[in-house]
Structure 1
Amino acid sequence: MKDNSVLPIEEQLNRFLQPKCLIPGGLGLWEVYFRKICTAWGEISGDIRPQHIIFSADNGCNMEGYVGYNYEVTQKQSRNMLLGRSSATQFCNFNNIPYEVVDVGIASDDGIGVDCKVAKGTKNILNHPAMTEDEFNRAFQAGYERVEHYVAKGINLFSFGEMGLGNTTTSACVLSALTGADPTETVGPGSWPNKPDLMKRKIDFVRSVLDTHKDRIVAESEPQRVRRIVAHVGGFDIAAILGAMLACVEFKKPFVIDGFITSVAAACAVHINDCVKDYALPSHNSREKGTELALAEVGITQDMVPIQAQMSMGEGTGAILMVQMLKTTQYMFVNVGTFADLMKL
C-alpha cells in the first residue's frame, strides 16, 4: 500500500505503527529494518521484490598458487550455481528469490552466467596492480548496470554474493589499506584450515602486498583513493559489488550485505558516499575476522547483525536468509491488525 501523505516518511511510519496490535519495540531489529526499508523507498509497503546477484571472478594471487586452492574451482562452482546446486542457490530456490551469476572475471574462455567478463582473472597483487584503471571501471560499471537493469523491472531490494578463490585475501588487503588496520586484524582463514602456520603465511602475504602498493594508492580525494585501493589490491568481484551498492543508493533501493567480501565492498562504498549507511542492511556475522571491522565502517555494530551462525560459505548464503526474514517481517508490519480491531472481538 502506498501512503500519499505529504508528511515526512518518519512521521508517516510513526502514525502507521502506533495503532498496530504490537508491543512498542517488541520486535526489536525487525522494526528498525522495516523503518529503514520504508525510509529508503520513501513509502510504506509490505511488498518486497528481491533480486540476488552473485559476482564471480578469479584472483591472480590464487591462480599463481600463492593462496588457496585450484583456481578452476571458481568456474566449476559458478556453473554449479547456474544449475541451482550450490547452497546459496538452493536457499534462493526454496524461498522463491530470483538470482543470477555475473561473470566479471572468471579465468575461462567463455562467459559463465551473465557475461560481463573484464579479464580472465586479475594479476597477482604481490607483484602487480590487480587491474588497470580501465578494468576497474568496467567491473564497477558491470555491477552498477546489473542493479539499474533490475530497478527498471521493479526490483526494490537487492542482496549480493560472490564467488572467487582467494577473495578473502584480496578483501583483507583492501580493508587494511582502507582503514590502516594491521593484517592481523583483517586476515581470517577463508577456505583454508584454521591453522597457525597457514594463517601466518596469509598474514605475511597481505603485509607484503600492502608494502608493495603503499605508495600507489594515495590520492587527492577519498573516492579516488578507494578506487585505487580496489584496483591495486582488490578483485573484480569487489569492484563490481562496489558499483552495485552505489547504484542502489542512486536508485533508492536498500540492499543486504552478506559476509566478509561484501562487507568490505560496503566499507569502500561508504568512503565514497556516506549515504550508503542509509541503504545497507546486515545479514550475518561471518566467522572471518575482519567482518566486524568492515561493518563498523558502515556504522553497523554487532548487536545490529541478526544472524550469528559462524558462516563463511560466500555466495550470499547469509544475505538470502536475511532477505527471507525481511520479506516475512515486512509483510507482517503492514498487514497486522490494530488494537481497535482487537477490541471489537
Structure 2
Amino acid sequence: MKKMKDIMNAITEPDLSAQQAMENHLNSLTKPLGSLGRLEDLAIQLAGITGRTQPVIDPAAVIVMAADHGVSAEGVSAFPTEVTRQMVSNFISGGAAINVLARSAAASVQIVDIGVQGEFNLPGLISRKIRFGTNNMLHGPAMSMDEAVAAIEAGIDIAQDAIRKGAKLLALGEMGIGNTTASSALLAVLGQIPVEQAVGLGTGISQEMRQHKARVISKAIERNQPNPSDPVDVLAKIGGLEIAGLAGVVLGAAAMRIPVLVDGFISAIAAMIAVKLSPLAVHYLIASHESVEPGHALVNRLLGLQPLLNLNLRLGEGSGTAIALPIVRAAVRIAKEMATFDQAGVSGSLDGSVSGENQTLDDSGQTISMIPSPTYSIETPYFIETRHEFDQGQKAGVYQAIHTRRDIRTFIRQPIEEEKLRRILDAAHHAPSVGFMQPWNFIVVRSNPIKQQLHEIVAKEVQVAGQYFEGKRAELYPKLKVQGILEAPITICFTCDPTRDGAHVLGRNTLPETDVHSVVCAIENLWLAARAEGLGAGWVSFYKKQDVRKILHIPPHIDPVGLISIGYTHAFQERPVLETVGWGKRYSLDELIFTDRWGNH
C-alpha cells in the first residue's frame, strides 16, 4: 500500500510553461492557426507531460496484462477460460494481432502473467502472478483488498522497469476471458450508471447472453455492495487482476511523466481506476480509439478523453494503441520538423494563417483579407472602457444573495407560491450553457410517495457513507442532518441530456463534461434566486444515479445531476452549518490564489 500511495503522491500537473511554449511554436509554423487540429492538441499535451518542447515518445512499449476471471464460470463469454492461457502462448510466439500491429508500428510488446490459471514456462513471459485468477464475484469478492493493492503495485513495478530500460511511451493491452464482465461491473459502480447501459457483447455473445451477463453483474454488485467512493474496494470486489495491474501501469507512468496510450474498454476502465485514485493521472492519458463496446464511449466521456480513431475494434490486446501510435508520432514530428514562417520565408497573415482561410478576391481579382478590422467611433476613443455596472443597491443585493446562501436541511410546512417557483426556475433556465445547448430539464417532485422513495434511497447511502469517517468527524456525522426531502414542499431533480443539440456541440468537443457543468450553472442560478426570494435550498448528493432514474422514470442516457430540496426555513444561519459544528473551516482566499502557475502565490 505504501508504494501505491507514494506513487500517487508523486503525480503532478503537466508543465504549463512547456505547453505554452509548444503552442507558441505551433502557431509559428507554416500553416493556418490550429489547422492541424488534434495533432496540435497532442503535441501540446505531450509537451506538458514530458516538460519538453521537443517531446520524445520512442521507444514505445505495449504492456499486455493477462489474467483469468472466476465469473467466466457463469457463461458470460463466447470463449472458455483456457483461451486466456492459450493466447498468452500465442503472444509469446509472436502470432497474435498485437504482435503483428506492434511490429508495423515499431513498438515492443511485453506480456505479463498477473493472474492466469496454471503455471507457464515460456521464455520472455514476465511473471507477476498474484493468484490463479479471481474468485467468482457472483458468490463473493473477486479478490481481497491486499491482492488488489498487490496487483496495482505490480503494475507500477512493470511500468517503472520498462521506463528505466528506455521506454518513452507506454501503451495498455490486456487478455482475460470474462474481463468485459468485470469492466462493465466496474463502470456501473464507479460511473453510477445502469448495468444495462454498461454491458455490451464482449467477444461476440448473443443478445440473450448479454442479458444474462447483465443479470450476473447486477447480482454480483448486490451481493458485494462495493463502495463507489473507494476504487480499491470496488476493484477488489468486482474487478480483475489485469485491470488492477494496468491501473498500476498508468500510475507508474504518470509519476515518471511518461504518456500512456489507452486501448479499448478494459484498459480504459483500468485508466479510470487510476484517475479515481489520483485525479492528476488523467493528464497523462491518450485515448487511441473508441470500440464498439457501449461502455467504452461512456468511460472516455467520464475521463474527458477524445479518441483518435473509431475503427469498430473490439479485440483488446492493445491493438488500438499500435494502430494509433503513428498518429502520435506524427504530432511529435510536426512540431519538430515543420518549418516556421521565418525559416521558410513565407509571409503569414494577421492571424497566423497563410493561403486560403480568411481571404477572398475583390472585383479585380486581387486577394484581400477577410479578417474584420476593429472600428472605433470618434466620440468614444477605443481606450475608454464602457462600464455596465449595477448601481450600488443592485450590487449589494447580488453579493448578499451569494454570501448569505446556505445549504438548508430543515424546512417549514409552508407551500411555495407558484409564481415564485416559476421565477426561480426561469432563473435556472437562464444559466449559461456550452454551445447554447441548454441540456437541462427540471423534474419538480411534489408527490409524497415519490418523496418517500427518494428519501429512502438517500437515507441508505447516508448510512453507507458514515463508515468512512474517522476521529472527530466520525463523532459528528451521526448528528448531522444532511437532507430534508420529506420536509421540503418540493424537490427538483436537475438532469443533463448529453444528446441535446446533436452530436457536435460548439465548445464541447475537447471537454465533453461541459454539458454537466452547464447544468450545475443552472443549479447555482436557482439557488441564488431562491435565496433572494427568501427560500432555502439544500443540495442532496447521497444517491445512486440508477436509483433516481428508476424512481423518476428517467431514460438511461439522461444524467440526474442533482436533487435540490426547496422551501421556506426558520432561519438562514450566519455561517455554514459544517463550519459552525467544527467539521471544517473556509480557507482564506489568499491561500487559493496562484499567479501564472500552480503553487505560485
What TM-score results when the alignment is normalised by the length of structure 1?
0.91
Matching of residues 149-188 of structure 1 within 5 Å: 149-188=161-200
Identify, as 1 or 2, the structure richer in helix: 1
Secondary structure of the corresponding residue to residue 147 of structure 1: helix
Secondary structure of the corresponding residue to residue 321 of structure 2: helix
Matching of residues 64-143 of structure 1 within 5 Å: 64-68=73-77, 69-110=79-120, 113-143=125-155
Which residue number corresponds to residue 268 of structure 2? 263
**CA distance in structure 1 between the partners assigned to 2:121 and 2:145 by the alignment:** 22
**CA distance in structure 2 between the partners assigned to 1:133 and 1:37 by the alignment:** 34
Matching of residues 320-339 of structure 1 within 5 Å: 320-339=322-341
Which residue number corresponds to residue 21 of structure 1? 30
Structure with larger Rg:
2
Residue 294 in structure 1 maps to residue 299 in structure 2: yes
Distance 1:120 1:24, change over 3 A: same
Secondary structure of the corresponding residue to residue 204 of structure 1: helix
1:169-226 CA-partner distances (Å, limit 9, x unpaired): 0000111111221111110000133x32111111111111111111xx238xx4xx10
**CA distance in structure 2 between the partners assigned to 1:122 and 1:88 by the alignment:** 25
1:106-160 CA-partner distances (Å, limit 9, x unpaired): 1122265100011111110100211112211221111100111122123221110
Residue 278 in structure 1 maps to residue 283 in structure 2: yes
1:100 Cα deviation from its structure 2 partner: 0.6
2:148 maps to amino acid: F
CA RMSD of aligned residues (A): 1.8
Which consecutive unaligned segments of at least 5 residues does structure 1 have? Answer: 1-5
Residue 200 in structure 1 maps to residue 197 in structure 2: no
Confirm or deny: 8 A CA contact 2:91 2:111 kept in the other structure. yes
**CA distance in structure 1 between the partners assigned to 2:94 and 2:139 by the alignment:** 37
1:78 Cα deviation from its structure 2 partner: 1.0
Which residue number corresponds to residue 44 of structure 1? 53
**CA distance in structure 1 between the partners assigned to 2:178 and 2:33 by the alignment:** 45
Which residue number corresponds to residue 419 of structure 2? none
Which residue number corresponds to residue 3 of structure 1? none
Which residue number corresponds to residue 253 of structure 1? 258
2:264 maps to amino acid: G
1:16 Cα deviation from its structure 2 partner: 2.0
2:298 maps to amino acid: L
User: Which protein, 1 or 2, shows the higher relative CO under an 8 Å CA cutoff with sep ≥ 6?
Assistant: 1
**CA distance in structure 2 between the partners assigned to 1:186 and 1:322 by the alignment:** 25
Distance 1:26 1:56, change over 3 A: same
1:276-321 CA-partner distances (Å, limit 9, x unpaired): 2211111111100111111122112xxx212111100010111111
**CA distance in structure 1 between the partners assigned to 2:283 and 2:56 by the alignment:** 19
Confirm or deny: 8 A CA contact 1:123 1:130 kept in the other structure. yes
What TM-score results when the alignment is normalised by the length of structure 2?
0.53
Distance 1:207 1:65, change over 3 A: closer
Which residue number corresponds to residue 240 of structure 1? 245
Q: Determine which of 206, 211, 233 is the counterpart of 2:222.
A: 211
Q: Determine which of 13, 17, 21 is the counterpart of 1:8.
A: 17
**CA distance in structure 2 between the partners assigned to 1:206 and 1:7 by the alignment:** 42
**CA distance in structure 2 between the partners assigned to 1:243 and 1:322 by the alignment:** 22
Secondary structure of the corresponding residue to residue 8 of structure 1: helix
**CA distance in structure 2 between the partners assigned to 1:236 and 1:71 by the alignment:** 15
**CA distance in structure 2 between the partners assigned to 1:258 and 1:10 by the alignment:** 25
**CA distance in structure 1 between the partners assigned to 2:107 and 2:157 by the alignment:** 20
Confirm or deny: 8 A CA contact 1:46 1:332 kept in the other structure. no
1:116 maps to amino acid: R
**CA distance in structure 2 between the partners assigned to 1:326 and 1:277 by the alignment:** 17
2:281 maps to amino acid: V
1:11 Cα deviation from its structure 2 partner: 2.8
Which residue number corresponds to residue 307 of structure 1? 309
